[in-house]
Amino acid sequence: MRGGQLRLTVALLAGTLGLAALGLVATHGEEPGFLLPIPVELAVGWSFVGAGLVGWARRPDNPTGLLMTLTGLVWFGRQLEWLDTPLASHLSHVSVNLFLALVAHQLVVFPNGAARTRVERMLVVATYAVALGGYALSKLFYDPTAEGCAGCPHNLLLLFPNSGLNAIANLVPSAVGIVLVVVILARLVRRWWTASPPARRVLAPVAWTGPASLVLVAVTIGLYAVGVSATLDRVLQWSTLVYTAIPLAFLAGLLRMRLHRGALGGLVVELSDAATATDVRGALARTLGDPSLEVAFWLPEREGYIDLEGHPFGLPSGGDRAVTVLEDGQQRLAALVYDRSLLDDSELVRAAGAAARMALENARLQAELRAQLEEVRASRARIVEAGDAERRRLERDLHDGAQQRLLGIRLALRLARGELEKGGRAVDELLTEAESELAQTLDELRALARGIHPAVLTEEGLGPAVETLARRASVPVQIDRLPVDRLPSAVEAAAYFVTAEALANVAKHARASGVRISMRHADGSLFIDISDDGIGGADSAGSGLIGLRDRVEALNGRLRVEGSPGRGTRLRAEIPCRTGPDARAVDGA
Amino acid sequence: MKRTILIVDDHPSFRRFARRVLEADGFVVVGEASDGASAVAACRRWRPQLVLLDILLPDMDGFAVADTLADEPQRPVVILTSSREASDYAKRLERTSARGFLAKAELSGAALAALVDRR
């Protein structure tokens, strides 16, 4: 039987039960004392069944609707009292207790409809244990005749009559029941108190109706304990009508989880006006009722998410936040990060995301652009800074090296002249010293010039220049492949300095026993692959590597450093070799 | 009486030539130091009348060393020197506790004596 047919059957059954009760009242004139006025009986039963069926139909995945329907049907079990037999009387009373247990059960598990934690499961089990076990216990020593109810049906559960034990057997389940009610109420209040706005929206109807109904129960019990007049008795019986609010509250809460589906239409309208990513986020947050909603965009080339400002964004895992990743075909587009309580309706989140896809796509492009702009700004600043640092280093190198030696030579020559004037013999020694200083100066100047721009790179090209680097490296270098033809000078320079920096890093940090270099010119790009067998764990945010990445990215290339501790380091770069204005601009840098 | 002098510079080749030049011009080079800290220690030990002090030292700059030496009881006369020009340090040279500045290229006993005797 499909859900729809089943629900129809249940509705017919509830209707029949109610009408039968109505017929009984009509034919008998008055209901048995245990029963409430027939309008109240019908209202409570039908409200639970009706609200339950609606909830069941609208949220078939959520057991709350089914539970409410069942609660309503159980309520009609009270009508067994009409049969006036001992068994029917027991069943009628049991159905009341079961009804209360079902309501309590729903309060514990609302809005999920199913117990999710151990505490919730324990509370649910305890509720049924008290409702059914407590009833049985309360009848074990109860003799209707001895207790002054001669007309009452015979007690089938009677072990032996005992007035004292009977009092205790009645008191214990009541006391435990009250404790349970207090615990369930306290949990409800606490959940309301700590709930996030969207969770509160769902909890609100139940959080107000539940305690109100329970207070009414407490007042009723209190009044009966002190004794009530016939009129007040009638008033209290009619006040039971308030219980019809309970299923409506459950239903309202249940539907509120879905209510905002209707807001999707509004979302589409709002999105047509949304100009920026911030507008899109705002529209989604309002539609989903979660002010804390965050939007993160997927950036394929970074293989990571960025937030609305273009900063890197890490998706949360676990905790109070849930994530829905929106995809466009195979391509990841964006992620919505929201309050976990919305997860009960992740379909809505997905639908809202789908409705916002175009706007999100636009916003993502914007955010991507902003991220690129920010990166370009940062890299421009770094390039300027790197240039300045390089100039400072050159000045210092010249100052410490060649300049000092040339000064020394000048002083030596001045001394030599003085010696010559005196006819001294130290001239030979001074000139020898000056010559040696000059030779060292020339060596230092050559090394310095090579650091600025290696002559071999200009004259012979990338291959011979890399071979020179390999020969000078402090770690054995194996060259697998090098380009034979000349490439644009900016590409050659970038490749050269990438190699030089990589070899310098290997010498400084890697503790490697060997390096392999492969450079391949194919498909209009130069592919560089430099790997070592060292300790790995290179930090790709290190200043040297960032400088290299800036240099490579300025040529529209890519540079990546991979390497986990213990597995060596591998640097890979791809530099496009087209000779365009971009390439020329960096030429000579 | 010959003047005693301490040469402070982190480049050994410069120290070597400076010693020769100054000794040829009649100074007594009582010691050499390669950084600020050892310069202060050398002053306490050899008590030179003059200190030829390079500005760019590995541990601290010559201005700071000059200030430290100015607080020493023997208060040697300090002449700063550098391969850079005086104009590179114009502001700081106005305020320094050193007696004067002599570019390394200009180093000679006569130039040094002229600076020391300037006032």
**For residue A344, what pLDDT band results from cuts at 50, 70 and 90?**
low
- The percentage of chain A sitting over the pLDDT mark of 70, rounded to a whole number, equals 90
- How would residue A499 be classed by pLDDT, with cut points 50, 70 and 90? very high
pLDDT digit string (tens) for A7-33? 888 888 888 888 888 888 878 766 676
Return all residues near A389 (Cβ < 8 A) that are at least 6 apart.
Answer: none
Domain that holds residue A65: 1-83
Q: Give per-residue pLDDT as tens, A408-424.
A: 888 888 888 888 887 77
Q: So what's the pLDDT on residue A113?
A: 77
ipTM higher than 0.90? no
- Is A575 part of any domain? yes
- pLDDT for the residue numbered A335: 87
The verdict on A73 and A94 lying in the same domain is no
| Whether residue A573 is found in the same domain as residue A476 | yes
- Terminal CA-CA length for chain A: 78
Return the CATH number at A535: 3.30.565.10
Query: Is A248 contained in some domain?
Result: no
Question: Total domain count for chain A?
Answer: 4
A76 and A102 share a domain? Answer: no
- Single out the residue in A187, A216, A231 at which a domain terminates: A187
Domain for residue A444, yes or no? no
Residue A370 lies in a domain: yes
| In a shared domain, residues A50 and A96 | no
Total Cβ atoms within 10 A of residue B32: 18
What is the end-to-end Cα distance of chain B in Å, rounded? 19
Q: Is residue A228 left, alpha or beta, with left meaning phi > 0 and alpha meaning psi from -120 to 50? A: beta
Distances (CA, A) of B52 to A363, A544, A562, B37, B99: 67, 38, 52, 15, 10
pLDDT in tens, A82-133: 777 888 888 888 888 898 889 889 888 887 777 778 888 999 999 999 888 8
CA distance A304 to B27: 70
**B17–A405 CB contact, under 8 Å:** no
Assess if residue A65 is contained within a domain. Answer: yes
Q: What is the mean pLDDT of residues A364-382?
A: 81
Residue A348 counted as domain residue: yes
Q: Please tell me if residue A412 touches chain B, with a CB cutoff of 8 Å.
A: yes
**Rounded to the nearest 10 degrees, how much is the dihedral formed by the CA atoms of A283, A289, A290, A291?**
60
Q: Is the pLDDT of residue A230 over 80?
A: no
**Tens digit of each residue's pLDDT (9 = 90 or more) over A551-574:** 888 888 888 888 777 788 899 999
Tell me: the pLDDT tens digits for B15-55?
Answer: 988 998 899 889 999 999 999 999 999 999 999 999 999 99
Distances (CA, A) of A214 to A69, A108, A178, A242, A384: 20, 14, 10, 11, 73
A chain contacts of residue B107, beta-carbon cutoff 8 Å: 411
Surface-to-core class of residue A231, CB atoms within 10 Å of its CB (0-12 exposed, 13-18 middle, 19+ buried): exposed
Model confidence band, residue B66 (pLDDT cutoffs 50, 70, 90): very high
Amino acid at B93: L
pLDDT number for residue A82: 79
- pLDDT band of A579, cuts 50, 70, 90: low
pLDDT in tens, A139-153: 888 877 777 776 777
- A63 lies in the same domain as A78: yes
For domain B4-116, the CATH superfamily is Response regulator (3.40.50.2300)
Same domain as A151, residue A77: no
Contact (CB<8Å) B20/A405: no
Q: Which of A339, A470, A434, A452 is nearest to A395 (CA)?
A: A452
User: Which chain A residue lies closest to B22 (C-alpha atoms)?
Assistant: A415
Instruction: State which residue of chain A sits closest to B103, comparing Cα positions.
Output: A407
- Inside any domain, residue A418: no
Rounded to an integer, the average pLDDT of A452-474 is: 86
Q: Cis (ω within 30 of 0) for the bond into A111?
A: yes
B18: contact with A, CB 8 A cutoff: yes
Beta-carbon neighbour count of residue A286 at 10 Å?
16
Q: Are residues A89 and A76 in the same domain?
A: no
Note whether B17 contacts A411, CB cutoff 8 Å: yes
pLDDT at position A261: 56
Q: Which residues of A touch B17 (CB under 8 A)?
A: 407-408, 411-412, 415
Query: Of B30, B90, B81, B29, whose CA–CA distance to B57 is shortest?
Result: B81
**pLDDT level of residue A586 (50, 70, 90 thresholds):** very low
Tell me, yes or no, whether A217 lies in a domain.
Answer: no
- pTM of the model as a whole: 0.47
A471 and A576 fall within a common domain: yes
Question: What is the crossing angle of helices A357-398 and A277-288, to 10°?
Answer: 130
DSSP lists the bridge partners of residue A340 as none
CA distance to partner chain B, nearest, from residue A408 (Å) = 5
Question: Looking at A197-206, A478-487, B92-101, which range is the least confident one?
Answer: A197-206
Contact A247, A75 (CB under 8 A): no
Domain end call among A66, A83, A100: A83
Q: Domain coordinates of chain B in residue numbers?
A: 4-116
What is the structure's pLDDT at B38?
A: 94
CB B22 within 8 A of CB B68: no
* A203-217, A338-352, A560-574: which is most confident: A560-574
